[in-house]
Amino acid sequence: MGPGALAEIRQRIDTIDADIHRLLMERSAVVDELIHIKGTSAPAAAFRPDREAHMIRALVMRHHGILPLATVEHIWREVISTFTAMQAPFRILIGEAPDRAAFQDLVRFQFGFSVPAEEAGSDDEALKALRADEGLIAIFSPHSVSWWQGLRPEDDIQVFARLPFIIAPEHPVQAEAYVAGPRLSVPPEADIKLVRMRAKGAFAKTLAAFNGRVVASSGDHILVEMPGALTQEELSAEGDKRGAEFAEPVLIGSFAAPIHFVETDAAESEDERV
């Protein structure tokens, strides 16, 4: 490749970079209009997890080429988080986790570096702070028990996302977490409901019949993900058949179903997307 061809390629890159920057500034101007129209500074009104899910799903569907999907996802996450904070500044509390470094990587991958994040002393302290400050959201590990047992019916707190949204064998972050914060002014779609309950017997198999799962347990107290469309009557009927006993579920949140990339053989042309 001669000097002229190389200079032309660099010029094309410079033009693309300028276009990306211009579009980001244009997006910020549109968000500024939105701020004036909505007239709100509350995260409960600014967070739209369903819209985020639709955006990332569309990104996955149209993505192609050699650029890693995780890189594009992280860029979009930084953009989404920054513009959400422009509408309503918020801070992040990081709860307890078995692997603190992996948990922090997950938080930064999801929310970028524009939003302040700090570690809570404990999940109980994170819950206490959430109750007192609507400008906070907290990130909780599924493997920690105290936070979901500590949520009270009168708390104006809900889980509205599960991380990561894209689940893949080679994804740069593998830790799992739930995002909890003030009850949103626009309730998220309940692709998946997160509930706690007391259960005995073959309840895990009862859930599996509906593609649900027990996420965590403490004695007969369990944290459960189940399909949003699943009714109490359907669950009870299946439980009766399998000899499972359980109390009525207590809803603590809901979120959009994540995207799963399934590992496939080399002979297959593409990853299977579910």
pLDDT at 274 over 50: no
pLDDT of residue 37: 79
Contacts of 236-240 with CB under 8 Å at 24 or more apart are: 238/206, 238/209, 238/210, 239/201, 239/203, 239/206
pLDDT at 153 over 90: no
* Predicted TM-score of the model (pTM): 0.89
pLDDT of residue 98: 86
Report the share of the chain in percent with pLDDT over 70. Answer: 94
Angstrom CA distances, 252 to 127, 152, 178, 210, 265, stand at: 13, 9, 11, 19, 39
| Other CB atoms within 10 A of residue 8 CB | 12
pLDDT of residue 39: 67
For the chain, the domains span: 7-39
pLDDT band at 3 (very low <50, low <70, confident <90, very high): confident
pLDDT at 1 over 80: no
pLDDT at 272 over 60: no
d(CA 56, CA 50): 10
pLDDT in tens, 129-142: 999 998 999 999 99
In terms of pLDDT, which residue wins out, 38 or 165? 165
Instruction: Give me 228's structure tokens.
Output: 């949003």
Taking all residues of the chain, what is their mean pLDDT, rounded to a whole number? 89
55 by Cβ neighbours in 10 Å (0-12 / 13-18 / 19+) ranks as middle
Place of tokens 């207590």: 250
